[in-house]
Structure 1
C-alpha cells in the first residue's frame, strides 16, 4: 500500500466511485458513527495512508477522538474526553472560512496537539488535515497520515477529496440531527396533545392538577410539584408525583414547608418562560449535591409559571435526577404549563359557575317544606343535565288557613331565561295559593302573567289543594296544565292515576283549567313529579313511566325517603334522557 520515498500518492480511479457511494450513504444512515466508519475505511485505501483520526468539538471543547489504522483487524480506538483532558480547543490557526472546510498539509509534529500522540506512530511523511464546521455550531476534524512525503502536484487532488469527504460527514450529521429534532418535535407535540386531552377530560380542579403531575412523571421528569396561589397570597402545593414511591412523602413535605423552595418559586412565577436551577443555583436548598437525603441526587430543577388569561395561578416544577430527557426543554415545559394553566383556570371557573348555578337553583326551590298537622310532606330534586345551566323544574307547598296547597311545574328549556320564568311561575303560584285561590283559577292567573310577560317558553304545572273533609280525611282539588298526571298510592298499596287535563301555560290567552276532586284517607299518598322521572328511558327506549306505578306500590311504608327512592330508581333505569327530576309527596296521617 505504501510507495517509496518521495513517490506520488495518486487517487485510484475506483476511489471516486467510493466517494459517490459515501454521498449516497450520507442520506440514508441513521447514525453518523456508522458513516464515519465507512469514511475511515475508504480513506485508508488511499496509497500510502497509514492512519486516520477523527475528532469532534462541542461548545469549543474536544468531545472525542477516533483512530483507525491500515491494519484491517485493528480495533477502532476511542479517546473520550473528561474535564481535565489536556486536549485543546478547535484549531483556530486553520482560519476556517465559514462553512467551508479548512484543509492544510503538515508534518507529523505540526498537527493539532490533541491528535499528535495518536498519529506519530503511523506518520513518517505527510499529514493531510481538514477541520470543518457543523450546522449546530460545533466542529469536526479529519487527519490522514501518509507513510511518506506526498508530492506537491498530488496534494490539490487529495485536498479536494478530503474536503468532499468532510462535506459528506457534515451533510449526514445535519440530516441526522434534523431528523432527530423532527422526531423530538413529533414526540413533544404528541405528548402535549395527550396532556391536553387528559386535562380537558376533567372539570375538577384537584383532579386536573393530579393529572398534570401524573402525566409529567416519568414522561418529562423524575418528580413534579404543582403549586397554586391562595386567595390570601400564600403558596400551596396541590399535587405532587415522584418516580420513587418512597420519595413521595419527602417531596410533599418539601413542597409544603421549605422556605428556600417557596422563595425560588415566587421568583420564577414572575418570569414569562420559567427558569432552570442547577449546580450553584441549587445551593442552600433541599436539592443538589450539597443536600441530604432524597434531594441529594437531584441534578436540576425547572420552574414554569402557570399563566392563564393574564393571571399567574401558580407554578409547575419538575425535578431531574438524570442528565437529559428528550422532552425536557423549556419551550415544551412552557407550553405544558400554559395548557395546564388554561385547564386549571377553566376548571376553577367551571367550579365557580357551578356554585353560582347551585345557589340560584336553591333560590328557585323551597328552603324547606312547611309542617302541616295531619300531612307528611317530602320532596327530592336531582339535576339531570351536566351542563352549567339552571333547570326549569320547581315545586313548593303553602298553607292557607286549614288548607295546604302543593304545586309542581316545569319551564321549557334551561338557562337564565328559563330561570327567570321559573321564578315568576313559582312565586306567582305561591302568592295566589297563600291567598286561598283555587287551583284552576291559580293556573289561569299564572297563564295571564306569562302571556303578559310575552314569555317565549311554555310552562307546565300541577296544583293540588288539600282541604279537611268532614269524615276526618282530606279532599284533594287538582288542576293541571299540560303536566304529568299525579299518582295516588292508597294505604293498601294500590296505585291510581288521577286525570288532570289542561292546556300548557303561557300559550293561549283566557284559557280555563278545570278541577278534579278526590278523597284521600289516612295512609294515602299524593305523588307529584316532573317528566324527568317518567321520561327516563332504558336502552330499548322503554320509559320509566310504565315502571313507576309498580315501583311506587312496592315501597312500604311511604315516608320521608320515598321521593329520593323514586328518583334513584329512575336513575338506575335510565340509559337515555338527562332531564331534571323533581318529586313531591304528601302522605295523609291522622287528623289532629
Structure 2
C-alpha cells in the first residue's frame, strides 16, 4: 500500500489564513466556468470517486465568499449540496490544509451542523481532497460521503487527490477555452469594424442632388467581417448631364477592395474623358487588362452598368451600357415593369475584345429605374430556385413602389424574406422622376449600408 502524499487530518482546526481569503475568493470568481455546460468530465469524476470508495454519494463543489456551489453530483441531485458556507462540510474541506477525513460526523460538532448530516441523507462518513489552482488557492473539493461511519485507506485517499487534480485540469481547460472565445470575439468585432470602415470608403458617403430627379442607394453586406466588391456612384458630367454606375468586382476581402477602388476611379475618369457609356466600359476594360499584364494571377474582372442621365422636358433620357451585368428594371408610373437589358454586354477585364452593348430609354414623371448586383437575383427562394431577374421584376411589380425610396424599401423587404437564401452582397441604386418636382423630398438624397 502506497504512503499518503499529503498530510491527513480528521478534526484539525482550519489552517487557512483569513487575510488570504479575499485572494482566494478572487481566484474562485475566475473559475466561474465551473457553472458552464461542459462535456460531462466533472460528472465522470464524481462517478469514479463513488466507485473507488464504494460510497453512495460523491460531489465536486466550489466555495465562494458565502456559498457552496455544486458543479457535479453522484447519488443525489446537485441542488442538495448548495448551501451556506458556515455549516457546510465542503467549506470545511477548503479551510483545511490537505485531504480531510471525518470517519464519524456525529463525533465532530462542526460536521454535525451540516444539513446533510442532521437531515437527509444522514451523512456519517466524509472525505474530501481540495481542488487547488496553479497559484495555490483552494477553490473547492472533490467529496465522498457515506451513510455509515467508516475509515478510508491511503490508496483511496491518493485516488481522491488524483481526481481533485483532474478537476483542476478541467477548470484550467474551461478557462483557457473561455479566454480563447473572448479573444476571438474581440478579433471578430475588430474585423467587423475594419470591414465596415473600409466598405464605406468604397461607396459615396451621400448621393448628390440631381435637379428633377430623386436618387437612393443601399448596400446589403452578406458578411459583417468581410469586404465585398459591389459598388455604385452618381456624379455630374459636362453641362447638365449626370453619370452613374453600379457593378460588382470578382472576389472578396482586401484584393476586392483594391480592385473596387481602381474600378470606381477609372469609371469616373473615363467618363470625364468620353462620357459615351460604351467608351467608358471599354476604357475600364483596357485598364484592367493593363493591371494584369505580366501577372500569373487570375485576371481581375467585374460586371458593371454605366449610364448617362440627360434632362429632357419633364423627364430624362437615360443611355445605359452593360458589361456582363444583370438587366436594369424600369418601373413605370402605371405600375408596369420593363426589362432594360443592353443585349450582348460581356464581362469587363477578362476577354480579349469584349463587346459592350448600349440601350436608351426615357424616364417620365412617375417612372423609376432600378439597378442591382447579382447577390439579389442569385439568392435562393423558399423553393430552392434562384430568384433571377424575372422573379425580381414580378416582385417589384406586385410591390408597386412609388419612387426611389419605395423601391429600396421593397428590395430590403425582399432580401429579409429570402433569409438564408441570400449568399452574397447586394448593392442597389434607384433613380426616379417625381410626378410633381416641387413636391420632391427636401432632404438630401440618401445612401445607406444595411446588414441583413
TM-score (normalizing by structure 1): 0.47
CA distance in 1, matches of 2:290, 2:383: 42
CA contact (8 A) 2:229 2:249 kept: yes
Within a 5 Å distance, the mapping from 1:382-461 to structure 2 comes to 382-385=220-223, 388-400=225-237, 401-434=239-272, 437-454=275-292, 456-461=299-304
Q: Cα distance 1:60–1:462, how it changes in 2: closer, same or farther (>3 A)?
A: closer
CA distance in 2, matches of 1:219, 1:530: 58
1:83 aligns with 2:12: yes
**Deviation string, structure 1 residues 529-573 (Cα, Å, up to 9, x no partner):** 001111111243322233312321223322425324303313313
Q: Higher RCO, 1 or 2 (CA under 8 Å, sep at least 6)? A: 2
2:408 maps to: 563
Match of 1:490 among 332, 341, 345: 332
CA distance in 2, matches of 1:530, 1:219: 58
CA distance in 2, matches of 1:484, 1:318: 67
Q: Cα distance 1:581–1:60, how it changes in 2: closer, same or farther (>3 A)?
A: closer
Within a 5 Å distance, the mapping from 1:269-418 to structure 2 comes to 279=95, 329-385=167-223, 388-400=225-237, 401-418=239-256
Q: Cα distance 1:220–1:534, how it changes in 2: closer, same or farther (>3 A)?
A: farther
CA distance in 1, matches of 2:190, 2:133: 28
CA distance in 2, matches of 1:529, 1:511: 22
Structure 1 runs of 4+ aligned residues shifted over 6 Å read 300-305, 321-328
CA distance in 1, matches of 2:138, 2:323: 62
**Deviation string, structure 1 residues 259-315 (Cα, Å, up to 9, x no partner):** xxxxxxxxxxxxxxxxxx96499xxxxxxxxxxxxxxxxxx997789xxxxxxxxxx
Shift of 1:367: 0.9
Over the residues paired in the alignment, what is the CA RMSD in angstroms?
A: 3.8
TM-score (normalizing by structure 2): 0.60
CA distance in 1, matches of 2:7, 2:357: 97
Within a 5 Å distance, the mapping from 1:6-21 to structure 2 comes to none
May I ask how many residue pairs the two structures share in their alignment? Answer: 313
CA distance in 1, matches of 2:356, 2:286: 12
Shift of 1:83: 3.4
Within a 5 Å distance, the mapping from 1:121-140 to structure 2 comes to none
Q: Which runs of 5+ in 1 are unaligned?
A: 1-55, 63-80, 85-184, 192-217, 225-242, 245-276, 282-299, 306-316
1:547 aligns with 2:400: no
CA contact (8 A) 1:544 1:570 kept: no
CA distance in 2, matches of 1:373, 1:382: 27
CA distance in 2, matches of 1:345, 1:337: 12
CA contact (8 A) 2:133 2:168 kept: no
1:253 maps to: none
Match of 1:463 among 292, 298, 306: 306
Match of 1:475 among 317, 332, 336: 317
Secondary structure of the corresponding residue to residue 492 of structure 1? coil
Which structure has the bigger radius of gyration? 1
Q: Cα distance 1:375–1:186, how it changes in 2: closer, same or farther (>3 A)?
A: closer
Q: Cα distance 1:465–1:302, how it changes in 2: closer, same or farther (>3 A)?
A: farther
CA distance in 2, matches of 1:356, 1:375: 34
2:427 maps to: 582
CA distance in 1, matches of 2:287, 2:324: 17
Within a 5 Å distance, the mapping from 1:177-256 to structure 2 comes to 187-188=40-41, 221=62
2:156 maps to: none
